[in-house]
Amino acid sequence: MVRSLLQAARGRKIHFTSDLWTGGHHGYLSLTAHWWQPKEVLDTRASQEQLHGDPQGSTPRGYRVVLLQAQSMEDSAKGIHISEVLKTALREWGLGTEGQVNRGFMVTDAGRNMINAVERAGFQRIVCAAHKLHLVVGDAIGLGALKNSWCEGNLETKALLDKCRKIVGHFSRSIKASRMMREKQAEMG
C-alpha cells in the first residue's frame, strides 16, 4: 500500500525528515516521507480510506506521512555512513533513482553528522525549528551545552522539567492516553 501511495506521488515533491538518536547502547536512524496527495490521484480502496486521515482531525486531508525506515546503526554514525544508509533506504522504496521522485527538502537537527549526511545524499537541508527551539530554551533556563549539566540554583527548574518530561512521555508512548487527551481537548473547546 505504501509503495502504491509513493507511486501515485510521482511528479509531486516528497519531503523527508530524518533523525539519529541513541537508546541505551544502540544508535538508530529514521527516515520519514511527507507529501501532499490530492484525492483525484488515489485509486485504491485503502488509499481512499487513508485520505480522510485521523478521525479527530489532527491530520489534514490529503497529507501523507510514512515512516519508511527505523534502523539500528551498529556502524559509525559518521556523515558518510548515514548518507549511504539514507540512499539505500530510498532505493529500497523505489525513490533512489534521479528523476523517479521530485525530492523536496530534508528536515534534520543541526548535528554535524546529519548535515554532512544530508548534503552527501543530495538533499536540500532544513534545520528543524523544534530542535533549535529546544536548544534556545535550554540555554535560557540554564542548561549548558552538555545534556543535564545544570547551572547552580536551577534545581527547581530541573525538577519541573523532569515532571514535564514524564507527562509528555506518558502521552507520547500511550495511544490510548493520547486519544483520551484529544477527546478531552475537543470537549473543553
Alpha-carbon distance of 104 to 95, in angstroms, equals 12
pLDDT of 145: 52
- Domain boundary assignment for the chain: 2-140, 151-189
pLDDT of 45: 43
Reported as type and span, the H/E element at residue 176 is helix 175-188
Task: Please give the CATH number for the structural domain made up of 2-140.
Answer: 3.30.420
Low-confidence ranges of the chain (pLDDT < 50): 42-48, 51-56, 146-150, 152-153
pLDDT of 140: 74
Alpha-carbon distance of 68 to 89, in angstroms, equals 8
pLDDT of 183: 92
Alpha-carbon distance of 95 to 103, in angstroms, equals 9
pLDDT of 48: 46
Alpha-carbon distance of 34 to 97, in angstroms, equals 18
pLDDT of 108: 92
Strand partners, 108: 127
Nearest one of 83, 134, 76, 89 to 110, comparing CA atoms: 134
Alpha-carbon distance of 130 to 60, in angstroms, equals 20
Alpha-carbon distance of 88 to 46, in angstroms, equals 27
Q: How many CB atoms lie within 10 A of CB 18?
A: 24
Which grid coordinates belong to 179?
Answer: 486519544
Helix (H, G, I), strand (E, B) or coil at 90: helix
Alpha-carbon distance of 37 to 65, in angstroms, equals 10
